[in-house]
Homo-oligomer: A and B are copies of this chain.
Amino acid sequence: MIQATTKLRVRYSETDQMGFVYYGNYAQYLEIGRVEALKTVGVSYRKLEEDGYGLPVKEMNIEYIRAALYDDELIISTTIHKKPSARVFFEYEIHRGEELLIKATTTLFFMDRSKRACRPPADFMKRMEAYFN
């Protein structure tokens, strides 16, 4: 299992006229969460792309429990429960202090330079071994 926590502060640009964070902007927060989760196990997403790989999203599910507000400090918890293969499955929770605001999941897959689905890079899989065996 891989787990990581990262914090961010809601920007004014992320609110809408309802006074809440616009519902589509949480996708950015999830992405920050998973990039951080990969960083903590030594995988740089920037480096993955430089090596010719991409990790596009195949599926996203978000449950909105409470709204985040401007200037809130959010805590994004990201978990990989299942050993990644060609697909990587992330689970997320976003809290403001003790309050749960968001529950979400995303499924990503590896893509090569020709923009076709592919196997994960060997180095990536090797790093995963340490966390799932």
Contact = CB atoms under 8 A, between A and B. Distances in A.
Interface in A60-116: 60-64, 67, 70-71, 115
A64 B59 contact: yes
Contact of A57 (B27, B44, B64): B64
B54 A71 contact: no
A19 B26 CA distance: 20
Interface residues of A, number: 37
A24 B20 contact: no
Contacts of A32: 11
21 contacts: A11-B31, A11-B32, A13-B24, A15-B16, A15-B17, A16-B17, A17-B49, A17-B70, A18-B54, A23-B56, A23-B60, A24-B24, A24-B28, A44-B71, A45-B71, A49-B70, A56-B67, A59-B61, A59-B62, A59-B63, A61-B61
